Chain A
Amino acid sequence: MNNNFFEIKNVDFSVGGKTKVRNVSFVIEKEGDIICLLGPSGIGKTTILRSIAGLEKIGNGSIELNGKIISSEKVNVEPEDRNISLAFQENSLFPHYTIEKNILLGTERNKGKKDQKISFKEIIELLNISQILNKYPHQISAGEAQRASLARSLITQPDLLLLDEPLSNVDQSFKEEIQVRLKKILNTLKITTIIVTHDSYEAFYLGSKCGIILNKELKQFDDPYKVYHFPNSIEVVNFLNRGILIPAEVTSPKSLENEDLGTITGNFIKPFPIGSKVKLLIQPEDLQHDDKSNLQLEVVDRKFRGTNFIYTLKTLNHLLIPVFVHSHHIHQHEIDEKFGIKRPIHIDHIVCF
């Protein structure tokens, strides 16, 4: 018997006999933790949530909540008996009830519970949906429906809350604010939550742990910082799409050599024998701009991201390298102009494959 709050052990997640994600294992150690599952659309993230909720059965392995098996080959606690709430991505509001009634239905489950941690009013304010309470589901926008559905899930105060792309239909202008409010309330109420999303920034912000699902497998399950800075496979690098892999040769326990960039020093995350030919991950933050440097590369693209620019630079061997520059940087470089890279190049944590 372990003390983990929630645990998935070697589970294959399938729909209609078709395996979507294989051999998944991860734990949520303590109550109140927030986990995010990241992956491209259609990869099986929703299937995982549906299986945890009991809406799909599992053929092998086990899912445990509070030390009790809720799903396995032999055991399948019915969804209505799990006290797990799932906020669906699509509209799951009861079409013949008003939004208010829809949300209040969520309280039925908690009747008799003494410790109501959050009131109806607080949830309405939190999600800013007071103006739609008297409307019916078909009269509100997709974003509003998603927030109403979220409200209904929150008010049930479940043992485990599952959120399927909870903010995918929410306006960008409102999204960050909701993210902040959501994180605050989940932390305050200590509701253990698994969030499925394809937005890495959302996952990195909300989750204390992130799981990356690619090619039918849970590729990495770690802190957001580690997932971003220490990706454990080329697939994860490609999925996060925040860097480039360039050829290099390991020259010492603390350095590598690339034909275009020269010597790169730093700490290897994983040791490689000297002389190994590797692929080195260069992320936009790894290189620094220096106009006076003798390493000058050609600008082929410039993306303005509000707080920063991402320059794409071309090397002599036609590698395209991204470089992050603060948007308040004194001057801008145009396409085809030269762009200096500070030398010697030092990367704090070297990720190679």
Chain B
Amino acid sequence: MTKGMNFKIINVWYLSSFIISIIVLIPILTVFSSFFEDTTNYFEVLRETFFLEYIFNSITLLLGVLFLTFILGVGSAYIVSFYEFPGSNFFKWALILSFAIPPYIYAYSLFAFFENYGTAFTILKFLFGDGEYNKHIPKFSGMFGLILSLSFSLFAYVYILARSSFLYQSQNLIELGKNLGFSKFKSFYSIILPAARPAIVAGLSLVAMETLAEFGAVDFFSINTLTTGIYNAWIAFDDLAFANRISFFLLLFIFILFLTENLSRKKAKFHLETKGGFKKREKIKLQGSKSIFAVIFCTLLFFLSFIFPLSQMLYWTIKFPENLFDLNIIDLLMNTLYLVSLSSLVLISFALLSNYGNRVSNKKILNILSTLSISGYAIPGVILAIAFITFVAWFDENFIKVMGFLSIKKVFIGSVLGLVIVYFVRFYSLAFNGIKSGYEKMNIAVDESAYLLGYSKTKTFFNIHIPYLRNSLLFVVILISLEIIRELPITLILRPFNFETFATTAYISASEDLLEAAAVPALFLILIATFFILLTSKYILRERDE
């Protein structure tokens, strides 16, 4: 009567979780092992000249972006969560559209708008006739331009998390402030802000990781950071070991960031569990000058973060229509769809398997492995791609060739397979966590009821879980698609020869100083990303009573 099946199933869970963890661990281990390898003398040169500059620039960039995203993200979240003003419902979701603009496209727009004889010049000329406008138009290049590009493109992380925290703040807490006679300002900084701290810090952590990982915009403005340093060490000096050595420092940096955030969070409990359900808070209706201020602030933010880069790309596309015909849009679209569907399939399959394994076996080791396997999202794409190449080369040299087989480099490097593997490492957390949060809403008693109704584990999985997780799966696919469409460094480094996406085409044109040509793929990228964001906005902005 006893079934041996359970034993086998658990082994499958372990095996798949192990495989995922190992795939994720490979780049991390490669980076760490490279620390003990010899490099060319480039390292010596760099240590005495640029290395400090890399670190200094990375820190300056990080602090600047964190400061600006905090102001923009928390400010906008506060205004739309607590107040009602003309357009407040529109801005609630319009502000997340900035996700559709990758920092590098923002950087192209910013640079092009304010450059000599750029779009700003053209507008002024159109409005006021010929003139010496160039010297009056501010120039947004270098570090300042970079900080602006990243901030307008990334503030939505802080906005979304802060807003959801503001929405779910205990009504009692806010009423308590009123009861104590606090002014609105005092309520904000002594009650609302501290209670939302974990969410804000989580948002800022994401911003920090994206900033440190950013490649396209940083490269465009020619600022030397650790990330571009890694890329240059590989591409210009062909020194993989040194690239990995810089990666080590960058990872250390990220690790410290993580640790600080976690330690600071453990000290306090930030929210009260409210029993008896979520009480929808009435929003305060703004009037007069306050209302005008709110409208101006949100409009400006929406305009600067989304409309401005979109218009710039649209303007160029219309102005230079020949670029539209030079580009094989169908090919780019098919390539993107190919990558998206293949990666989604692999990611979802493994994430489902792993989540289901955790659910049915409930073993600690599986939980640990799962936690390990989602750590890839913290590692910049450049590091992942280069560490992957390093590992494949090392494995090929030391095992495959030694055993007398043909080289496997071509199978993994410059191939869709390699690309999908590295996407997998980078985006596995999206798939895993998306499915996990779907599963968390389903009581384990539901599974057990199914067993007791005579359902096998497989039947429970296909007849109960999959239909229930349908929305979560759809959400995960869209998130993955959004990430892959915008992704630049991994695709750039690992893509097969002549295999381009919208992102790589835009990058290549921009790096050849053909910004007008970069506009067409960038515009398509923005439009597709916007479409996906609109599809997911209901989930991203969900409120408990909806």
**A residues within 8 Å of B by Cβ?**
50, 53-55, 70, 74-86, 88, 90-96, 105-106, 108-109, 149, 152, 156
- What residues of B have a CB within 8 angstroms of the CB of A84 in the complex? 452
Interface membership of B1, Cβ < 8 A? yes
Contact sample, A vs B, 25 pairs, CB 8 Å cutoff: A55-B448, A55-B451, A70-B1, A75-B1, A75-B2, A77-B1, A77-B2, A80-B453, A80-B454, A80-B455, A86-B449, A86-B452, A88-B445, A88-B448, A88-B449, A91-B445, A92-B445, A93-B446, A94-B449, A95-B442, A95-B468, A106-B453, A108-B453, A152-B449, A156-B452
Q: How far is the CA of A94 from the CA of B448 in the complex (A)?
A: 11
| B451-A74 in contact (CB<8A) | no
| B445-A80 in contact (CB<8A) | no
Nearest Cβ on chain A to B364's Cβ, whole angstroms: 10
What 19 additional pairs, Cβ within 8 angstroms, besides A53-B448, A75-B1, A80-B455? A54-B451, A75-B2, A76-B1, A76-B2, A78-B3, A80-B456, A81-B454, A82-B452, A85-B453, A86-B448, A86-B452, A88-B448, A91-B443, A93-B446, A94-B450, A95-B441, A108-B454, A156-B452, A156-B453
Count of B residues near A, CB < 8 Å? 20
Contact with A along B1-38 (1 / 0, CB 8 A): 11100000000000000000000000000000000000
Interface membership of B131, Cβ < 8 A? no
Partner of A53, one of B1, B450, B452, B468: B452
| A79-B443 in contact (CB<8A) | no
| B449-A92 in contact (CB<8A) | yes
Nearest Cβ on chain A to B504's Cβ, whole angstroms: 41
| B451-A94 in contact (CB<8A) | no
Q: How far is the CA of A327 from the CA of B468 in the complex (A)?
A: 55
- What residues of B have a CB within 8 angstroms of the CB of A109 in the complex? 453-454
In the complex, chain B residues 456-489 whose Cβ is within 8 Å of any chain A Cβ: 456, 464, 467-468
Q: How far is the CA of A88 from the CA of B451 in the complex (A)?
A: 13
- What residues of A have a CB within 8 angstroms of the CB of B452 in the complex? 53, 79-80, 82, 84-86, 156
Q: Beyond A74-B2, A95-B468, is A79–B451 a contact (Cβ under 8 Å)?
A: yes
Q: How far is the CA of A91 from the CA of B445 in the complex (A)?
A: 7
| B1-A92 in contact (CB<8A) | no
> Looking across the interface, which residue of chain A has its beta carbon closest to that of B464?
A94
Identify which of A53, A85, A92 gathers the most chain B CB atoms within 10 Å of its CB: A92
Q: How far is the CA of A81 from the CA of B454 in the complex (A)?
A: 6
- What residues of A have a CB within 8 angstroms of the CB of B451 in the complex? 54-55, 78-80
Partner of A92, one of B3, B446, B468: B446
- What residues of B have a CB within 8 angstroms of the CB of A91 in the complex? 443, 445
Contact with A along B362-394 (1 / 0, CB 8 A): 000000000000000000000000000000000
Q: Beyond A55-B451, A91-B443, A95-B442, is A81–B1 a contact (Cβ under 8 Å)?
A: yes
> Looking across the interface, which residue of chain B has its beta carbon closest to that of A81?
B1
Q: Is the interface of A mostly helix, strand, loop or mixed?
A: loop
- What residues of B have a CB within 8 angstroms of the CB of A95 in the complex? 441-442, 446, 468
| B2-A96 in contact (CB<8A) | no
> Looking across the interface, which residue of chain B has its beta carbon closest to that of A153?
B452
- What residues of B have a CB within 8 angstroms of the CB of A82 in the complex? 452
Nearest Cβ on chain A to B421's Cβ, whole angstroms: 34
Nearest Cβ on chain A to B255's Cβ, whole angstroms: 32
Nearest Cβ on chain A to B444's Cβ, whole angstroms: 9
| B2-A79 in contact (CB<8A) | no
- What residues of A have a CB within 8 angstroms of the CB of B448 in the complex? 50, 53, 55, 79, 86, 88, 92
| B2-A90 in contact (CB<8A) | no
- What residues of A have a CB within 8 angstroms of the CB of B453 in the complex? 80, 85, 105-106, 108-109, 152, 156
Closest 9 CB pairs of A and B: A92-B445, A79-B451, A92-B449, A88-B445, A109-B454, A96-B468, A80-B451, A77-B1, A80-B454
Q: How far is the CA of A84 from the CA of B464 in the complex (A)?
A: 20
Q: How far is the CA of A88 from the CA of B442 in the complex (A)?
A: 14
In the complex, chain B residues 207-260 whose Cβ is within 8 Å of any chain A Cβ: none
- What residues of B have a CB within 8 angstroms of the CB of A75 in the complex? 1-2
> Looking across the interface, which residue of chain B has its beta carbon closest to that of A53?
B452
Pair count A-B, CB < 8 A: 72
- What residues of B have a CB within 8 angstroms of the CB of A70 in the complex? 1
- What residues of B have a CB within 8 angstroms of the CB of A74 in the complex? 2
Identify which of B448, B453, B467 gathers the most chain A CB atoms within 10 Å of its CB: B453
Q: How far is the CA of A255 from the CA of B223 in the complex (A)?
A: 100
- What residues of B have a CB within 8 angstroms of the CB of A93 in the complex? 446, 449
Nearest Cβ on chain A to B71's Cβ, whole angstroms: 38
| A90-B443 in contact (CB<8A) | yes
Q: How far is the CA of A78 from the CA of B456 in the complex (A)?
A: 9
Nearest Cβ on chain A to B26's Cβ, whole angstroms: 33
Q: How far is the CA of A149 from the CA of B448 in the complex (A)?
A: 13
- What residues of B have a CB within 8 angstroms of the CB of A83 in the complex? 454
- What residues of A have a CB within 8 angstroms of the CB of B450 in the complex? 94
> Looking across the interface, which residue of chain B has its beta carbon closest to that of A86?
B452
> Looking across the interface, which residue of chain B has its beta carbon closest to that of A72?
B2
> Looking across the interface, which residue of chain B has its beta carbon closest to that of A158?
B452
Contact with A along B331-365 (1 / 0, CB 8 A): 00000000000000000000000000000000000
| A94-B468 in contact (CB<8A) | yes
- What residues of B have a CB within 8 angstroms of the CB of A152 in the complex? 449, 453
Q: How far is the CA of A180 from the CA of B3 in the complex (A)?
A: 40
Q: How far is the CA of A328 from the CA of B445 in the complex (A)?
A: 48
> Looking across the interface, which residue of chain A has its beta carbon closest to that of B449?
A92
Q: Beyond A75-B1, A80-B456, A84-B452, is A96–B467 a contact (Cβ under 8 Å)?
A: yes
> Looking across the interface, which residue of chain B has its beta carbon closest to that of A91?
B443
| A90-B468 in contact (CB<8A) | no
Q: How far is the CA of A114 from the CA of B3 in the complex (A)?
A: 29
Q: How far is the CA of A95 from the CA of B450 in the complex (A)?
A: 12
- What residues of A have a CB within 8 angstroms of the CB of B468 in the complex? 94-96
- What residues of A have a CB within 8 angstroms of the CB of B1 in the complex? 70, 75-77, 81
| A92-B443 in contact (CB<8A) | yes
Nearest Cβ on chain B to A174's Cβ, whole angstroms: 21
Q: How far is the CA of A78 from the CA of B446 in the complex (A)?
A: 16
- What residues of A have a CB within 8 angstroms of the CB of B2 in the complex? 74-77
Nearest Cβ on chain B to A107's Cβ, whole angstroms: 10
Q: How far is the CA of A163 from the CA of B32 in the complex (A)?
A: 56
- What residues of A have a CB within 8 angstroms of the CB of B443 in the complex? 90-92
Nearest Cβ on chain B to A85's Cβ, whole angstroms: 6
Q: How far is the CA of A77 from the CA of B446 in the complex (A)?
A: 20
In the complex, chain B residues 299-333 whose Cβ is within 8 Å of any chain A Cβ: none
- What residues of B have a CB within 8 angstroms of the CB of A85 in the complex? 452-453
Q: How far is the CA of A54 from the CA of B443 in the complex (A)?
A: 18
- What residues of A have a CB within 8 angstroms of the CB of B442 in the complex? 95
- What residues of B have a CB within 8 angstroms of the CB of A92 in the complex? 443, 445-446, 448-449
Nearest Cβ on chain B to A114's Cβ, whole angstroms: 18
Q: How far is the CA of A156 from the CA of B454 in the complex (A)?
A: 10
Nearest Cβ on chain B to A172's Cβ, whole angstroms: 19
Q: How far is the CA of A83 from the CA of B454 in the complex (A)?
A: 7
> Looking across the interface, which residue of chain B has its beta carbon closest to that of A70?
B1
Q: How far is the CA of A96 from the CA of B441 in the complex (A)?
A: 11
Nearest Cβ on chain B to A345's Cβ, whole angstroms: 48
- What residues of B have a CB within 8 angstroms of the CB of A77 in the complex? 1-2
| B441-A90 in contact (CB<8A) | no
Q: How far is the CA of A337 from the CA of B442 in the complex (A)?
A: 58
- What residues of B have a CB within 8 angstroms of the CB of A78 in the complex? 3, 451
> Looking across the interface, which residue of chain A has its beta carbon closest to that of B1?
A77
Q: How far is the CA of A92 from the CA of B445 in the complex (A)?
A: 5
Q: How far is the CA of A106 from the CA of B450 in the complex (A)?
A: 9
Nearest Cβ on chain A to B31's Cβ, whole angstroms: 37
> Looking across the interface, which residue of chain B has its beta carbon closest to that of A68?
B1
| B445-A90 in contact (CB<8A) | yes
Nearest Cβ on chain A to B507's Cβ, whole angstroms: 43
Nearest Cβ on chain A to B442's Cβ, whole angstroms: 6
Q: How far is the CA of A84 from the CA of B448 in the complex (A)?
A: 12
Q: How far is the CA of A82 from the CA of B442 in the complex (A)?
A: 24
- What residues of B have a CB within 8 angstroms of the CB of A86 in the complex? 448-449, 452
> Looking across the interface, which residue of chain A has its beta carbon closest to that of B471?
A96
- What residues of A have a CB within 8 angstroms of the CB of B441 in the complex? 95
Nearest Cβ on chain A to B367's Cβ, whole angstroms: 13
Q: How far is the CA of A215 from the CA of B489 in the complex (A)?
A: 62
